[in-house]
């Protein structure tokens, strides 16, 4: 897991400024800023610099000398977005006056002052990056001495598993609402009958939630099938469909699906908070069956499932995730989503942002 370091010290006292136009409540922003989030698929970052956004902070990502650089998307010279720049063998060049930025955000060339040393203020202040599960992760406020809190995706590195990464799926909703939808088991027969669910299996058998150091886990055993409905495949009579969830607050969870025999499929759901009402859903997937079939099939299936959820998740009101359990009403099937809200409260989150709808 390569970890690329930023230039200059960044310590606990070195608190970043809130981004201009921040849509989050400041105390919650500072909690989220310490977390690692994917901002792009690795395969989507080629030679040209790319713009991204995390927690309202505009970012530029580029490759230089075999590593990935993430920095604020503003040239230190006159503030032109570096994502408007161009690829250069040494890194990227700003479009305005041609400054060249390379590995670790170092400014390597100032074409208007040939023969003079580069001023220290022209180096970029960068954010650390890690490449994992085919995604580029970063953190706006890394904590001294702490390892990146990138959740474990079961089976990803195991022999016999085929992997794929869905393209970034943007949604007009808060990340917490999206994540909660991923772990909600009662909506399957109502929303996902077009992809895998049986609309007649409506009851949710009881299940337990188990706390873990970085979140919690849950085994949901039911007769709700998971084969694509258009595949015509059926599990043998009496097969128990186990859905093993591992939830990593604030906005990541994995689901390991137990198909008949030893067949497994894993879906990881990471909701990156671009801004309060904008979320980029990143979803690496893997399976140890049908591995001779194209990975595009897995990707297309998951995108269809997201499409089924989208309109509902985007329509939920209030738009933030109410952590006060009195705000919304709950059923016996909601043990897992209540555990999620409770854990967010324990972590110190309060309201995320002031509701605007
Ligand atoms: S604004 Fe980027 S080089 Fe001047
Ligand atoms: Fe769903």
Domain ranges of the chain: 26-138, 162-346
Interval 177-184 mean pLDDT: 98
C-alpha 78 to ligand 1 mean position (Å): 5
Ligand nearest to the CA of 86: 1
How far away, in angstroms, is 88 Cα from ligand 1 center? Answer: 15
Compute, in angstroms, the gap from residue 82 CA to the centroid of ligand 1. Answer: 8
| Distance between CA atoms of residues 356 and 353, nearest Å | 9
Q: Is the pLDDT of residue 116 over 60?
A: yes
Tell me whether the CATH fold assigned to 26-138 matches the one assigned to 162-346: no
* Dist. CA 146 → ligand 2 center (Å): 33
Tell me the per-residue pLDDT of 224-268, one tens digit each, with 9 for 90 and over.
999 999 999 999 999 999 999 999 999 999 999 999 999 999 999
Assess contact for 36 and 139: CB atoms under 8 A: yes
For ligand 1, atom 4, the nearest C-alpha belongs to 97
Atom of ligand 1 minimally distant from the CA of 79: 1
54-100 pLDDT per residue, tens: 999 999 999 999 999 999 999 999 999 999 999 999 999 999 999 99
Q: Is the pLDDT at 355 greater than 90, yes or no? A: no
Q: pLDDT category, 14, cuts 50, 70, 90?
A: confident
Mutate to test the pocket of ligand 1, among 49, 78, 112 (most ligand atoms within 8 A of CB): 78
- Domain 162-346 has what CATH class? alpha beta
Which atom of ligand 1 is closest in space to residue 99's alpha carbon? Answer: 3
Least confident of 1-10, 133-142, 154-163, 215-224: 1-10
Query: Which ligand has the minimum distance to the alpha carbon of residue 255?
Result: 2
Q: Which residues line ligand 1 (CB under 6 A)?
A: 75, 77-78, 80, 94, 96-97, 99
* Ligand 1 atom 1 nearest Cα: 78
CA of 41 from ligand 2 middle (Å) equals 22
Ligand whose nearest atom lies closest to the CA of 195: 2
In this prediction, residue 271 has a pLDDT band, given cuts at 50, 70 and 90, of very high
pLDDT confidence tier of residue 5, bands split at 50, 70 and 90: very low
- pLDDT value at position 357? 56
**What pLDDT, on the 0 to 100 scale, is given for residue 356?**
64
13 pLDDT higher than 90: no
Ligand 1, atom 3, lies closest to the CA of: 97
Q: What is the CATH number of domain 26-138?
A: 2.102.10.10
Distance 83 CA to ligand 2 centre (A): 34
Tell me the CA–centroid distance for residue 89 and ligand 2, in Å.
Answer: 44
């Amino acid at each position: 897991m390569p970890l690329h370091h930023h230039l200059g010290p960044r310590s606990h006292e070195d608190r970043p400024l809130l981004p201009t136009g921040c849509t989050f409540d400041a105390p919650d922003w500072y909690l989220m800023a310490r977390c690692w989030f994917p901002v792009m698929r690795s395969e989507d970052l080629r030679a040209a610099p790319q713009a991204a956004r995390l927690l309202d902070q505009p970012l530029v990502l580029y490759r230089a000398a075999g590593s990935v650089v993430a920095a604020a998307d503003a040239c230190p010279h006159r503030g032109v977005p570096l994502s408007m720049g161009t690829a250069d063998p040494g890194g990227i060049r700003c479009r305005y006056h041609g400054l060249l930025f390379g590995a670790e955000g170092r400014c390597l060339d100032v074409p208007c002052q040939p023969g003079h040393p580069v001023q220290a203020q022209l180096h970029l202040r960068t954010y650390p990056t890690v490449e994992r599960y085919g995604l580029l992760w970063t953190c706006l406020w890394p904590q001294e001495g702490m390892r990146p809190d990138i959740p474990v995706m079961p089976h990803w590195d195991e022999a016999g598993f085929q992997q794929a990464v869905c393209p970034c799926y943007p949604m007009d909703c808060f990340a917490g609402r999206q994540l909660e939808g991923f772990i909600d088991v009662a909506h399957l027969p109502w929303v996902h009958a077009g992809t895998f669910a049986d609309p007649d299996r409506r009851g949710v058998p009881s299940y337990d939630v188990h706390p873990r150091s970085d979140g919690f886990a849950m085994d949901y055993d039911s007769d709700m099938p998971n084969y694509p409905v258009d595949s015509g495949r059926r599990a043998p009579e009496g097969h128990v469909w186990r859905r093993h969830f591992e939830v990593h607050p604030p906005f990541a969870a994995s689901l390991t699906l137990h198909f008949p025999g030893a067949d497994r499929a894993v879906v990881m759901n990471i909701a990156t908070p671009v801004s309060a009402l904008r979320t980029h859903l990143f979803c690496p997937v893997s399976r140890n069956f049908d591995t001779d079939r194209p990975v595009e099939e897995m990707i297309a299936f998951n995108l269809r499932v997201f499409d089924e959820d989208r309109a509902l998740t985007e329509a939920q009101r209030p738009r933030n995730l109410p952590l006060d359990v009195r705000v919304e009403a709950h059923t016996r099937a909601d043990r897992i989503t209540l555990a999620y809200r409770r854990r967010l409260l324990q972590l110190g989150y309060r309201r995320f942002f002031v509701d605007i709808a």
